[in-house]
Structure 1
Amino acid sequence: MNTDVIIRRTETRGLAQAAGAMFLVGTLAGVAGVIQDYPLYGGQALRYLLAAAVLLAVARVAGPRPVRLTPRETALLAALSLTGLVVFNICVIEATRHGGPALVGTVLGTVPLALALLDGRPSPRVIGAAAVVVAGATVATGLGSGDLPGLLWSLGALVCEVCFSLLALPLLPRLGAIRVSAYSAALAVPLLAAAGLLIDGAGMVRVPTFAEAAGLGYQSIIVTTVAFFLWYDALPRLGPARAGLFAGLIPVGAIATGALLGLGAPSAADLAGAALVVTGIAIGLSAPGRGPRGDGS
């Protein structure tokens, strides 16, 4: 098969996966209200425990043969799990308590710009496109209000979100998207359980209601198992700068989910922000790509 055709197919797959992953992450807003009364850290530990079990089972059945982790890979996975999953969740939880979800969403809307700036030598068009996506995410989310601790927790979440992508890049060529997703989720379980014991004690877990079980299951299977795999499979195909543009779809996913579940019709600001996000993504994707960095599947 022609090399150009293979590259185009690889990139097209990456574009669809990155868009799907970030849209699914945005749907978290639709289940947040359902699980808001469940112990936060214990609930997240259960979420990652189920996701790790599913991903490890998939890796065993369909994945490549087992690989022995090097000390460097082990350290990277531990850092990825600690920052991109555990500390990220803690930062988002604390930021929401201080400043509300709007402040967190606004700060996380700068993820595309951060990834573009950190991706070696990004083109001016990609940087400009990332700025448009950031503006759209900010408009859609709404400029939040909060105190200094809320802002600092939000900035911590931003750093952790960037680590979630950049720490995975050197792992993906050899381990693949399924194993990186599975190992990072598994490593997060004892860390979140420890945080839950420290903060909530014996009340860190309880039998969930039917609605809470459904919400936690959605977080685990759709937002973690599916979205993690899609994102990690897309990253090597697109590179962090171009893939990062799709982080602007997080508020779009939240808007769509809210409308679908009858939680409120989107406002003019919601629609304007979504339009800006789509425009920014289109601008960024029109820039010449540097080609895939490896299959990672």
Structure 2
Amino acid sequence: MALVGASFTASAALVDYPLAGGQAVRYAVAALCLLAVMVWRRERLVLPSLRQAGRLTALAATGLTGFSVLVVLATSRADPSLVGAVVGATPVVLAVTQAVRERHLALRTLAAAVVVTAGVVLVEGLGSADPLGLVLAVGALACEAAFSLLAVPLLPTLGPLRVSAYACCAAVPQLVLLGLLAPGPFLAVPDGGELVALAYLSVVLTAVAFLLWYTGLARVGPARAGLFAGLVPVAALAASLALGAETASPHAVAGALVVGLGLVLGLAPGRRSSRRTGRRTRVTA
């Protein structure tokens, strides 16, 4: 998530580059990198079943293709800060979804997700939007949540590396089709800055970050992993400060501290035992 937040400066270099074509190149390069890692690690090539292939296609259509497109469309109709604040509700969505799936509400995790989301809103601030811009931002939020939720059933059998590689492979034809149908050029010759940005987004933000995220997701589950989405605006702010692009406002600093508080609340180990009426009873926090 820190890598995602720090990538916004790279994404800004691609504002004038064809959207679908650039994203298609990004995921194609990332897929080649991940497949090369599979060969280097001598991972067995496991072909997904029909159901798994369908889930991978849906994952690519929402968490990769859909999210990329909706964020761009939303920021054209709404302030980027508002889009960031809406997408920042991802921890709450993941916590509630896991509670519904497991039929068990972990109050501390849900409370931590609310705290993290409040911190994100403080960092991002609230901007203005027309109704369509707000709908597009909510759509981006749904796609961001789907990026994790659709992957959860795939991780035990395919593993983080295969899920990352296969999802990138599935996204490429989707983006090619979208780019060919959309007006304007599909690809363009990148200048030096755009080439560096595409390389960073392909290797670091996609190949490396996807593998890290899905590995962590398999270990701690979507609700607890989702808390780290709060680090995205914090890392983006830190990168901007390091590059001298902006100065830290009081509400942004306060928001970063609130995000940290939410992470501590959600990840701290719980108490495991208590005594009641003279008997030993084991409980889980």
Whether these two folds match at TM > 0.5 is yes
Q: Judge which range, 235-244 or 264-273, deviates more.
A: 264-273
1:27 aligned partner, one-letter code: A
Q: CA deviation at 1:32?
A: 2.6
For 1:95, the equivalent position in structure 2 comes to 74
Cα gap change, 1:220 to 1:172, in 2 (>3 Å): same
For 1:224, the equivalent position in structure 2 comes to 206
For 1:182, the equivalent position in structure 2 comes to 165
Measured against aligned partners, the alpha-carbon deviations of 1:150-172 in whole angstroms (never above 9, x if no partner) come to: 10001001111111001101111
Residue 136, structure 1, aligned to residue 115, structure 2: no
Q: Distance in 1 between matches of 2:82 and 2:7?
A: 16
Q: Distance in 2 between matches of 1:99 and 1:63?
A: 46
Q: Judge which range, 192-201 or 147-156, deviates more.
A: 192-201
SS in 1 for 2:182: helix
Matches within 5 A, 1:71-86: 71-86=50-65
Measured against aligned partners, the alpha-carbon deviations of 1:23-45 in whole angstroms (never above 9, x if no partner) come to: 11111221132111111111111
Measured against aligned partners, the alpha-carbon deviations of 1:64-86 in whole angstroms (never above 9, x if no partner) come to: 21212211111111111111111
For 1:266, the equivalent position in structure 2 comes to 248
2:213 aligned partner, one-letter code: W
Q: Distance in 2 between matches of 1:229 and 1:265?
A: 32
Where has structure 1 moved over 3 Å in runs of 4 or more?
A: none
Matches within 5 A, 1:120-199: 120=102, 121-199=104-182
Residue 282, structure 1, aligned to residue 264, structure 2: yes
Q: Distance in 2 between matches of 1:132 and 1:210?
A: 41
1:58 aligned partner, one-letter code: V
Aligned residue-pair number: 267
Q: Distance in 2 between matches of 1:288 and 1:135?
A: 23
Cα gap change, 1:288 to 1:67, in 2 (>3 Å): farther
- Among 14, 29, 39, the residue aligned to 2:18: 39
For 1:66, the equivalent position in structure 2 comes to 45
Q: Distance in 1 between matches of 2:269 and 2:71?
A: 32
For 2:91, the equivalent position in structure 1 comes to 112
Higher Rg of the two aligned structures: 2
For 2:2, the equivalent position in structure 1 comes to 23
Measured against aligned partners, the alpha-carbon deviations of 1:184-231 in whole angstroms (never above 9, x if no partner) come to: 011111111111122234x12111000000011111111101110000
Q: Judge which range, 187-196 or 56-65, deviates more.
A: 56-65
Q: CA deviation at 1:287?
A: 5.1
1:24 aligned partner, one-letter code: L
Q: Distance in 1 between matches of 2:8 and 2:248?
A: 14
SS in 2 for 1:239: helix
Q: So what's the TM-score if we normalise by structure 1?
A: 0.87
For 1:292, the equivalent position in structure 2 comes to none
Q: CA deviation at 1:117?
A: 0.6
Q: Distance in 2 between matches of 1:270 and 1:246?
A: 17
Q: So what's the TM-score if we normalise by structure 2?
A: 0.91
Q: Distance in 1 between matches of 2:270 and 2:38?
A: 34
For 2:279, the equivalent position in structure 1 comes to none
1:193 aligned partner, one-letter code: V
The structure that is helix-richer by fraction is 1
For 2:35, the equivalent position in structure 1 comes to 56
Cα gap change, 1:113 to 1:213, in 2 (>3 Å): same
For 1:252, the equivalent position in structure 2 comes to 234
2:135 aligned partner, one-letter code: L
For 1:239, the equivalent position in structure 2 comes to 221
SS in 1 for 2:78: helix
Identity, in percent, stands at 47
Cα gap change, 1:124 to 1:63, in 2 (>3 Å): farther
For 2:276, the equivalent position in structure 1 comes to none
SS in 2 for 1:136: helix
Measured against aligned partners, the alpha-carbon deviations of 1:79-121 in whole angstroms (never above 9, x if no partner) come to: 1111111111111111011003112100011000110111132
1:39 aligned partner, one-letter code: P
